[in-house]
């Protein structure tokens, strides 16, 4: 797998986000939703830390800075529109943290630990060219098997190349069903969404941990990451 690319739309000026790109190939077969019994040790450690610290699990200001990264135009990152990382912290504290499959569990563990929302895609479905831009009026996609739809106008998006254009496939709140991990997924691409003022070395450390877990927990033969 050649390293995927992630571009930033020039219209994001000033750009509110500093994304980290993570990729892996040669993954072992992803188990069905719900996964095998038991919680992986890396995830159990993060969950224990969150439960011990409560709402103060993340460093001061992380929640506010991530919300500010998403706040734009009509989009307000609160309630059901809040960043995925906040949903994960609430689930950790309530004992309802989701077990999905290897790659998604890695993404969720890193998101919970860092406070930064993340997306992960089947590389065969999203392709190797991605773009970060704002959602356009009328854009939406289905984000779960129940057919629920998220409205995307003004939200930060990850888009895949489709013909001569770009089609939304993920965001810091809910990812599209069109590119989610499947039992046959063997190549993945992940994105961590950090505020533009996030220190590069700290973000790279999270991306390296993400890539490392895709190798150690998911059996990926090759992994990589970079910060834009």
Q: Answer for the pair 183, 28: CB distance below 8 angstroms, yes or no.
A: no
H/E element holding 19? strand 17-25
How much is the average pLDDT of 189-194? 98
Strand pairing partners for 130? 6, 160
Q: Return the percentage of the chain with pLDDT > 70, whole number.
A: 95
How much is the average pLDDT of 195-203? 97
List the helix and strand counts (H, then E) for the chain.
6, 10
How much is the average pLDDT of 177-202? 96
Number of CB atoms found within 10 A of residue 129's CB: 13
- The residue among 184 and 1 whose pLDDT is bigger is 184
Separation of first and last alpha carbons in the chain? 19
H/E element holding 215? helix 200-216
Give Cα 85 distance to the centre of its chain.
9
- The residue among 40 and 187 whose pLDDT is bigger is 187
The predicted structure's pLDDT at residue 26: 95
Q: What is the pLDDT of residues 146-172, one digit of tens each?
A: 999 999 999 999 999 999 999 999 999
Q: What is the pLDDT of residues 26-47, one digit of tens each?
A: 998 654 444 445 688 999 999 9
The predicted structure's pLDDT at residue 35: 45
Q: For residue 62, which of 50, 45, 72, 80 has the smallest C-alpha distance?
A: 50
Share the mean pLDDT of the chain. 94
The CA distance from 209 to 19, in Å, is: 15
Dihedral in degrees, nearest 10, Cα atoms 82, 85, 87, 89: -140
Structure tokens at 69: 């990264």
Query: Domain 5-32+40-134+181-227: which topology?
Result: Phenylalanyl-tRNA Synthetase; Chain B, domain 3 (3.50.40)
Model confidence at 209, pLDDT cuts 50, 70, 90, reads very high
The predicted structure's pLDDT at residue 33: 47
H/E element holding 65? helix 62-70
For the chain, domain boundaries: 5-32+40-134+181-227
Q: For residue 115, which of 228, 44, 195 has the smallest C-alpha distance?
A: 195
The CA distance from 223 to 213, in Å, is: 10
Structure tokens at 35: 């996964």
Helix-strand-coil split of the chain, %, nearest 5: 35, 25, 40
């Amino acid at each position: 797998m050649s390293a995927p690319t992630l571009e930033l739309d020039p219209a994001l000026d000033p750009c509110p986000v500093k994304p980290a790109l993570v990729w892996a190939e040669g993954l072992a077969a992803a188990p069905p939703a719900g996964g095998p019994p038991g919680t992986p040790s890396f995830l159990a450690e993060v969950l224990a830390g969150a439960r011990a610290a409560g709402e103060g699990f993340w460093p001061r200001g992380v929640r506010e800075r991530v919300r500010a990264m998403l706040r734009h135009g009509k989009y307000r990152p609160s309630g059901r529109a809040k960043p995925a990382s906040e949903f994960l912290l609430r689930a950790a504290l309530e004992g309802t943290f989701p077990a999905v499959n290897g790659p998604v569990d890695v993404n969720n563990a890193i998101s919970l630990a860092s406070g930064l929302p993340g997306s992960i895609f089947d590389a065969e479905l999203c392709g190797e060219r991605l773009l970060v831009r704002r959602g356009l009026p009328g854009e939406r996609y289905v984000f779960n098997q129940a057919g629920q739809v998220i409205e995307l106008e003004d939200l930060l998006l990850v888009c895949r190349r489709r013909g001569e254009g770009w089609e939304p496939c993920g965001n810091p709140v809910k990812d599209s069903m069109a590119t989610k991990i499947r039992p046959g997924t063997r190549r993945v691409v992940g994105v961590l969404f950090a505020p533009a003022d996030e220190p590069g070395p700290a973000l790279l450390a999270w991306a390296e941990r993400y890539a490392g877990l895709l190798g150690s927990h998911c059996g990926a033969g090759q992994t990589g990451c970079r910060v834009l």
